[in-house]
């Protein structure tokens, strides 16, 4: 059974940086791709970045060039390095498995709050 614990969120000024971490258990890394998602108040959850077991990455247009997703398979960890943060990045950030039908994922952890404000 999947269990996810996100951490690293904080309040930062525009232009600042954060590194988010996700500790995962119950995930079969040989078949799963992983992703970071986010959800702002009053908004739908959106896909931020994905990483395959082999380390191939993809990014949403709104974070390309600013965020970097990575994973440590031996430690069952995924990370999101966030640079040049903008107020529109304010959201709760979640990690989870990734697939074409990710909107159908039933389980989500508590997430970690990122607030970008002057």
pLDDT along the chain (118 residues), means of 10: 91 98 78 91 96 94 97 91 98 94 92 97
Round to whole Å and give the CA distance between 106 and 99.
Answer: 13
Residue 74 sits at the vertex; the CA angle it makes with 100 and 8, to the nearest 5 degrees, is: 70
Burial of 61 (0-12, 13-18, 19+ CB in 10 A): exposed
**Torsion sign (Cα): 58, 5, 25, 20:** positive
Round to whole Å and give the CA distance between 46 and 31.
Answer: 22
- The tens digit of pLDDT for each residue in 45-75 reads 999 999 998 899 999 999 999 999 999 988 8
- The tens digit of pLDDT for each residue in 67-77 reads 999 999 888 89
% the chain with pLDDT above 70: 95
How many CA atoms, within 13 angstroms, populate the side-chain half-sphere of residue 82?
A: 33
């Amino acid at each position: 059974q999947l269990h996810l614990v996100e951490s690293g969120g904080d309040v930062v000024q525009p232009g600042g940086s954060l590194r988010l971490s996700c500790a995962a258990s119950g995930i079969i890394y040989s078949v799963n791709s992983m992703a970071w998602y986010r959800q702002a108040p009053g908004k739908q959850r959106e896909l931020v970045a994905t990483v395959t077991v082999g380390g191939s990455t993809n990014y949403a247009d709104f974070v390309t060039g600013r965020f970097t997703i990575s994973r440590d398979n031996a430690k069952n960890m995924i990370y999101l390095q966030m640079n040049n943060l903008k107020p529109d990045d304010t959201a709760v950030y979640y990690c989870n498995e990734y697939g074409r039908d990710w909107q159908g994922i039933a389980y989500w952890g508590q997430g970690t709050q990122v607030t970008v404000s002057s």
